[in-house]
Amino acid sequence: MSYVLIIEDEAATAAPVKAALEMDGISADIACDGKEGLSLFREKAYDLILLDLKLPGLTGEEVLSAIRKEDPFITVIVYTNYSNFADIKKLTNIGIDGYINKGPGADLDELVTAIEDKLGPIDENSMDALFKELPQKSS
C-alpha cells in the first residue's frame, strides 16, 4: 500500500482528495499546516507528499526545504492556487516533482491520476527484484 501526506490548510480541499485516494487504495493523512506536516513526515514513511504553498505558520517553501534536507528522494507534488512562475521555478530548484493547479476547474480525477503515476505500480516482481538487490545479513 502507498502512503500519501496531504499538507493542506483548507479542509474542503483536503478531505475530497483524501477520500479519492483512499477509494483507489492509497492511504492518506492530512496535515492542516506546515508544522503538523513536518511532524507527520518525520513520524511515518510516506511515498509522496501533496503540498500546498499558502499555509499558516511555515510556508510551503519552508516545508519543502525542510523535507528536502531530510529526504531528498521523496516525491513532492505542489498542489496550489498560487501560480507565480518565478516562485514555481524556485520550488523546482529546491526539488518538486510536479505542480498541479487546484484553482477553478481543477479536476480531482486528474490529480489522483497524477499521484498514481508518480507512485507507480508495485507488484510482486518489482518487490522481488528490490529484495534481491538488498545486501543479505549473514548469520
Minimal CA–CA distance to 20: which of 116, 108, 98?
108
CATH code where residue 34 lies: 3.40.50.2300
The pLDDT value given to residue 139: 45
pLDDT in tens, 80-105: 887 667 777 777 778 888 888 886 66
CA distances to 7, 31, 49, 84 from 44, rounded to whole Å, are 14, 13, 12, 31
As for how many domains the chain has, the answer is 1
Residue 139 lies in a domain: no
Q: Residue 44 domain-assigned?
A: yes
Closest CA to 102 of 25, 33, 23, 8: 8
Does residue 116 lie in a domain region? yes
Residue 138 lies in a domain: no
> Is residue 54 in some structural domain?
yes
Separate counts of helices (H) and strands (E) for the chain: 6, 5
pTM over 0.75: yes
Per-residue pLDDT tens for 101-138? Answer: 886 667 787 888 888 888 876 444 444 444 444 444 44
Q: What domain range is 24 assigned to?
A: 3-133
Q: Determine the pLDDT at residue 131.
A: 45
75 found inside a domain: yes
To which residue does cell 501526506 refer? 5
